[in-house]
Structure 1
Amino acid sequence: MKEEKYTITGMSCSACSAHIEKAVKKVPGIRTVAVNLLTNSMLVTYDETVADAAAIIAAVTGAGYGAALPGSAETPLPATNELQTLKHRLRVSIIFLIPLVYIAMHTMWARLFGLPVPAAVASCLDGSQNAVTFAFSQFILLLPIMYLNRNYYITGFTNLYHRAPNMDTLVGLGSMASALFGIVAVFRIGHGLGTGNLALVQTYSTNLYFESAGMIVTLITVGKYLETKAKGKTGAAIEKLMNLSPKQATVLRDGKETTIPLSRLQVGDELIIRPGERIGADGVISQGYTGIDESSLTGESMPVEKGPGNTVTAATLNKSGTIRVIAERVGENTTLSQIIRLVEHAGAAKAPIAKIADTIAGIFVPAVISIAIAASLLWYFLFGADPEFSFSIGISILVISCPCALGLATPVALMVGIGKGAENGILIKSGEALETARAIDTVVLDKTGTITEGHPEVTDVLPRHISAEQLVSLAVTMEAASEHPLAEAVLTYGKQHAIVPRPVTALQPLFGKGIKVTYQNRTYYAGNETLMQELHIPIAPIKDRLQELTAAGKTPLLFASESEFLGLIAVTDKEKPTSAAAIAAFKQLGLTVIMITGDTLRTARALQKRLAIPHVIAGVLPQDKENHIARLQSSGHKVAMIGDGINDAPALARADLGIAIGAGTDIAIESADAVLMKSDLQDAVTAIRLSRAVIKNIKENLFWAFIYNIIGIPLAAGVLYPLYGIKLNPMIGAAAMSMSSVCVVLNALRLRFFHADRMTAPHRTPPVSERPLPPETAAYAYTLHIQGMTCHHCVQHVRQALLRTEGIQSADVSLKPAAARITAARPFLTPELSAIIRTAGYTLTAMTDDRPTGETTVVTIQGMTCQHCVQRVKTALQSLDEVQSVTVDLAAHTATIIGSRAFTPDELAPVIKKAGYTLLHKK
Structure 2
Amino acid sequence: MQTTEWKVEGMTCSNCALSITNYLKKEGLNNVAVNAITGEVSFADALDIEKIKKGIQQLGYKVVDENAVTITPSKTNFLHNNKQRFLFTLPVTVVLMLHMLPLHMHWLMNPWVQAIICLPVFVVGMYYFGKSAYKSLLHGSPNMNVLITVGAIASFGYSMVGAILNLGEHYLFFETTASIITLVFFGNYLEEAAIQSTQKAVKSLTATQKVMANMIAFDDQHQEQIFPIENKYLKNGDLVLIKNGEQVPADCKILWGDCSVNEAIITGEFEPITKQKKDTLIGGSTVVNGLVKAIVTAAGKDTVLANIIHLVQQAQAEKPPLQKLADRISAVFVPVVLGFALLTFIINYFLFDVSSAQAMLRGIAVLVISCPCAMGLATPAAIAVGLGRAAKLGILFKNASALETFKKIKQVVFDKTGTLTTGKFTVTEYQSDVDDITFKKMVYSLEKFSNHPIAKAITEQWKTNDFITWQKIEEIKGVGMVATDHEGNIYKVGSHKILPSIPTSEHNLYVIKNDILIGWINLADEIRPEAASVINWLHQQQIKTILLSGDSTIKCAQVAQILGIDEVYASKTPSEKLAIITSLNAAAPTAMVGDGINDAPALAKASLGISLSDAAQIAIQSADVILMNQGLKNLPMALGLGKHTYRTIKQNLFWAFIYNIVALPIAAFGLLTPTLAALAMGFSDIVLAINSVKLYVKKVTD
Confirm or deny a common fold (TM above 0.5).
yes
**Residues 183/457 of structure 1: CA separation in 2 closer, same or farther (3 Å cut):** same
SS at match of 1:267: coil
Give the equivalent residue in structure 1 for 2:659. Answer: 708
Whether the aligned pair in 1 keeps the contact of 2:640 and 2:701 (CA below 8 Å) is no
Give the equivalent residue in structure 1 for 2:475. Answer: none
Give the equivalent residue in structure 2 for 1:574. Answer: 526
SS at match of 1:645: coil
Shift in Å, 1:503: 11
**2:388 counterpart of 1:388:** no
**2:231 counterpart of 1:231:** no
- CA displacement, residues 461-500 of structure 1 (integer Å, 9 cap, x when unaligned): 899xxxxxxxxxx989974785286687579789xxxxx9
Shift in Å, 1:248: 2.4
Distance 2:429 2:495 in 1: 15
**2:135 counterpart of 1:170:** no
Distance 2:384 2:546 in 1: 31
**2:316 counterpart of 1:340:** no
**2:213 counterpart of 1:248:** yes
Give the equivalent residue in structure 1 for 2:486. Answer: none
AA matched with 2:180? I
Instruction: Select 2:540's aligned residue among 573, 577, 588.
Output: 588
Instruction: Select 2:85's aligned residue among 83, 89, 93.
Output: 89
Whether the aligned pair in 1 keeps the contact of 2:6 and 2:64 (CA below 8 Å) is yes
So what's the TM-score if we normalise by structure 1? 0.65
Instruction: Give the alignment of 1:73-472 within 5 angstroms.
Output: 73=70, 85-103=81-99, 105-106=100-101, 110=102, 117=103, 121-122=105-106, 124-125=107-108, 134-149=110-125, 150-189=127-166, 201=167, 204-245=168-209, 246-253=211-218, 254-261=222-229, 262-457=231-426
Whether the aligned pair in 1 keeps the contact of 2:345 and 2:359 (CA below 8 Å) is yes
Distance 1:228 1:319 in 2: 37
Whether the aligned pair in 2 keeps the contact of 1:25 and 1:32 (CA below 8 Å) is no
AA matched with 1:751? L
Whether the aligned pair in 2 keeps the contact of 1:479 and 1:490 (CA below 8 Å) is no
**Residues 100/448 of structure 1: CA separation in 2 closer, same or farther (3 Å cut):** same
AA matched with 2:255? S
Shift in Å, 1:569: 9.4
AA matched with 1:228? E
**Residues 74/701 of structure 1: CA separation in 2 closer, same or farther (3 Å cut):** farther
For structure 2, list consecutive stretches of 5 or more residues without a partner in the other structure: 448-453, 468-478, 480-493, 497-503, 512-519
Give the equivalent residue in structure 2 for 1:743. Answer: 687
CA RMSD of aligned residues (A): 3.5
Q: Of the two, which has the highest radius of gyration?
A: 1
Shift in Å, 1:394: 0.7
- CA displacement, residues 655-677 of structure 1 (integer Å, 9 cap, x when unaligned): 23222211111110252222211
Give the equivalent residue in structure 2 for 1:671. Answer: 622
Instruction: Give the alignment of 1:722-801 within 5 angstroms.
Output: 727-755=671-699
Distance 2:72 2:380 in 1: 21
- CA displacement, residues 349-370 of structure 1 (integer Å, 9 cap, x when unaligned): 2222221210110111111100
Instruction: Give the alignment of 1:871-882 within 5 angstroms.
Output: none
Distance 1:342 1:585 in 2: 29
Shift in Å, 1:454: 2.0
SS at match of 1:453: strand
Whether the aligned pair in 2 keeps the contact of 1:249 and 1:260 (CA below 8 Å) is yes
AA matched with 2:268? G
Distance 1:452 1:275 in 2: 34
Shift in Å, 1:5: 2.7
**Residues 435/3 of structure 1: CA separation in 2 closer, same or farther (3 Å cut):** farther
Percent identity of equivalent pairs:
33
Distance 1:82 1:445 in 2: 60
Give the equivalent residue in structure 1 for 2:451. Answer: none
SS at match of 1:698: helix
Distance 2:162 2:465 in 1: 106
**Residues 62/147 of structure 1: CA separation in 2 closer, same or farther (3 Å cut):** closer
SS at match of 1:675: strand
So what's the TM-score if we normalise by structure 2? 0.84
Shift in Å, 1:12: 3.8
AA matched with 1:742? I
Shift in Å, 1:591: 2.2
**Residues 295/755 of structure 1: CA separation in 2 closer, same or farther (3 Å cut):** farther
**Residues 528/407 of structure 1: CA separation in 2 closer, same or farther (3 Å cut):** closer
Shift in Å, 1:35: 2.2
Whether the aligned pair in 1 keeps the contact of 2:415 and 2:548 (CA below 8 Å) is yes
Give the equivalent residue in structure 1 for 2:489. Answer: none
SS at match of 2:615: coil
**2:684 counterpart of 1:684:** no
Number of matched residues? Answer: 645
SS at match of 1:39: coil
SS at match of 2:592: strand
Whether the aligned pair in 2 keeps the contact of 1:83 and 1:229 (CA below 8 Å) is no
Whether the aligned pair in 2 keeps the contact of 1:9 and 1:76 (CA below 8 Å) is no
**Residues 752/81 of structure 1: CA separation in 2 closer, same or farther (3 Å cut):** farther
AA matched with 2:94? I
Instruction: Select 2:668's aligned residue among 697, 713, 717.
Output: 717
Distance 1:41 1:161 in 2: 23
Distance 1:6 1:556 in 2: 53
Distance 1:275 1:476 in 2: 45
Shift in Å, 1:429: 1.8
Distance 1:627 1:356 in 2: 35
Shift in Å, 1:60: 4.8
Whether the aligned pair in 2 keeps the contact of 1:489 and 1:571 (CA below 8 Å) is no
- CA displacement, residues 185-230 of structure 1 (integer Å, 9 cap, x when unaligned): 10121xxxxxxxxxxx4xx313311111110111111111111111
**Residues 327/700 of structure 1: CA separation in 2 closer, same or farther (3 Å cut):** same
Distance 1:416 1:717 in 2: 35
Distance 2:73 2:547 in 1: 50
Instruction: Give the alignment of 1:854-893 within 5 angstroms.
Output: none
**2:607 counterpart of 1:633:** no
Distance 1:75 1:578 in 2: 56
AA matched with 2:624? D
SS at match of 2:617: coil
- CA displacement, residues 66-101 of structure 1 (integer Å, 9 cap, x when unaligned): 6565654359999x9999822211111112111111
**Residues 691/225 of structure 1: CA separation in 2 closer, same or farther (3 Å cut):** same
**Residues 296/156 of structure 1: CA separation in 2 closer, same or farther (3 Å cut):** same
Distance 2:634 2:201 in 1: 17
SS at match of 2:684: helix
AA matched with 1:256? E
Whether the aligned pair in 1 keeps the contact of 2:133 and 2:146 (CA below 8 Å) is yes
AA matched with 1:349? E
Distance 1:284 1:68 in 2: 34
Give the equivalent residue in structure 2 for 1:614. Answer: 566
Give the equivalent residue in structure 2 for 1:826. Answer: none
For structure 1, list consecutive stretches of 5 or more residues without a partner in the other structure: 111-116, 126-130, 190-200, 464-473, 495-499, 505-511, 513-526, 530-546, 559-567, 719-725, 759-923
